[in-house]
């Protein structure tokens, strides 16, 4: 389980790093004074999660990967390209963050399906609750900004 556990934790760390970058980007793009601190706070929590997972990987003798996923980098590149041609409004920003957190939720759910050591499972479960919180907050924002919920 050693190398498999390290791979699972590195995937989660990369997922958290993607979320951090995307929340920071959202904070920088939004014009809303209410959304900016929320997005920044969520980015900080995701950063903490990535570092925590990297520490566990290092403790297990692995090499922490906290640079984000290729999928996340491609997605951010697509958003950057779209921004060049059209300004994004808060509804689009919320929608994009929701998609990102749906992917994070999937990664955490898959990790929790693994046979994790008890101490690691507690950390992953706590972080998963943070992902669920992010998703719930984004759902609330979607309602406020009148975006339909698709679950």
Share of the chain above pLDDT 70, in %: 80
Under the banding of pLDDT at 50, 70 and 90, the label for residue 7 is very high
* pLDDT value for 126: 98
Q: pLDDT of 75-111, one tens digit each?
A: 434 444 444 444 568 999 999 999 999 999 999 999 9
Under the banding of pLDDT at 50, 70 and 90, the label for residue 145 is confident
- What is the mean predicted confidence (pLDDT) over 11-19? 96
Chain centroid offset of residue 101 CA: 5
The domains located in the chain, with CATH, are: 2-144 (1.20.1260.10)
- What is the mean predicted confidence (pLDDT) over 121-138? 97
Q: pLDDT of 44-62, one tens digit each?
A: 999 999 999 999 999 999 9
How far apart, in whole angstroms, are the C-alpha atoms of residue 46 and residue 18? 9
Distances from the Cα of 71 to the Cα of 19, 58, 68, 103, 140, angstroms:
12, 24, 8, 10, 26
* pLDDT value for 73: 46
How far apart, in whole angstroms, are the C-alpha atoms of residue 49 and residue 123? 9
How far apart, in whole angstroms, are the C-alpha atoms of residue 25 and residue 97? 10
């Amino acid at each position: 389980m050693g190398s498999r556990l390290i791979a699972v934790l590195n995937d989660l760390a990369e997922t958290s790093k993607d979320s951090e970058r995307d929340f920071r980007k959202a904070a920088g793009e939004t014009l809303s004074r209410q959304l900016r601190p929320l997005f920044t706070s969520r980015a900080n929590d995701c950063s903490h999660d990535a570092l925590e997972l990297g520490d566990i990987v290092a403790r297990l003798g692995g090499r922490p990967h906290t640079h984000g996923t290729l999928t996340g980098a491609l997605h951010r590149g697509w958003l950057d390209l779209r921004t060049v041609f059209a300004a994004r409004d808060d509804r689009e920003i919320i929608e994009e963050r929701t998609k990102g957190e749906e992917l994070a939720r999937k990664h955490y759910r898959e990790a929790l399906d693994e046979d994790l050591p008890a101490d690691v499972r507690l950390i992953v479960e706590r972080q998963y609750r943070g992902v669920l919180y992010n998703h719930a907050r984004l759902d609330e924002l979607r309602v406020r900004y009148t975006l339909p919920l698709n679950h």
